[in-house]
A = this chain, B = another copy of it.
Amino acid sequence: MTSSASPRRDARRNHERLLAEARTLFTERGIDAPLDELATRAGVGPGTVYRHFANRDALIRELYDAGVSDLHGLAPGILSAETGWRSIELYLERLAEWLAASPYVPAVMRRMADLDPTYKPGTEFAEAIAGMVARAQEEGTLRPDVTAVDLSVLVDMLGSLGQYGGAYLPFWRRQLTIVLDGLRARPDNTPVPGVGQEFDEFHDMSHAKGPKPSHD
């Protein structure tokens, strides 16, 4: 039901403006910040906000889709690296960088999962990540006992630093270095502990490539 005709120019301008201001507002005050303030910041009336986004969830969903689109743009550069290990490095760095710059993203992902509990954020890229992990492990550069899920969790961990406000942001590159050294295949690595039933389920889920569950 996307409108067939192109929207009026002022409408398009306001839409962009609202999305941009939403990003900074959500970064500063969290994704529950008053939408009336969003209107003020964007220089429009409250009514205009709700003309463009039915409610807060619709706005969040649009931010999420834009984020997924960002990531699709990042993917080729990451996956085409010369070595599997380099891909892993790029993956963690680019994703953590992106998350650090957009601290509202983790909250958005959580909200998305709340809206549709059958959907696990990040699933879109599970296949690509699994391939990357397999390549690096075949090379013998990535420790063999980590999985694609572990990498996703690490990315979320790195990205979560943004939530602590600006103070932690200068640090994530340091933590990234430490994590990467921990991910390197080494004869004397401590074995990564298993996690039981739940891990297997989660793991299978993330590798599944079935159709994305539909909404309502």
Contacts and interface: CB of A to CB of B under 8 A. Distances in A.
Interface of A: 32, 106, 110, 113, 120, 143, 146, 149-150, 153-154, 156-158, 160-161, 163-165, 167-168, 170-171, 173-175, 177-183, 186, 189-193, 195-196, 198-199, 202
A158 B161 CA distance: 10
Contact of A167 (B160, B167, B202): B202
Given A110-B164, A157-B160, A161-B156, A180 B174 contact: no
Q: Give 3 closest A-B pairs by Cβ, nearest first.
A: A182-B182, A160-B160, A178-B182
B177 A154 contact: no
Given A110-B164, A156-B164, A177 B202 contact: no
Contacts of A170: 195-196, 198-199, 202
Contacts of A164: 106, 110, 156
B161 A178 contact: no
Nearest to A181: B182
B199 A190 contact: no
A77 to B, nearest CB: 21
B177 A179 contact: no
A175 B196 contact: no
Contacts of A173: 193, 195
Nearest to A154: B175
A183 B180 contact: no
B199 A165 contact: no
A206 to B, nearest CB: 10
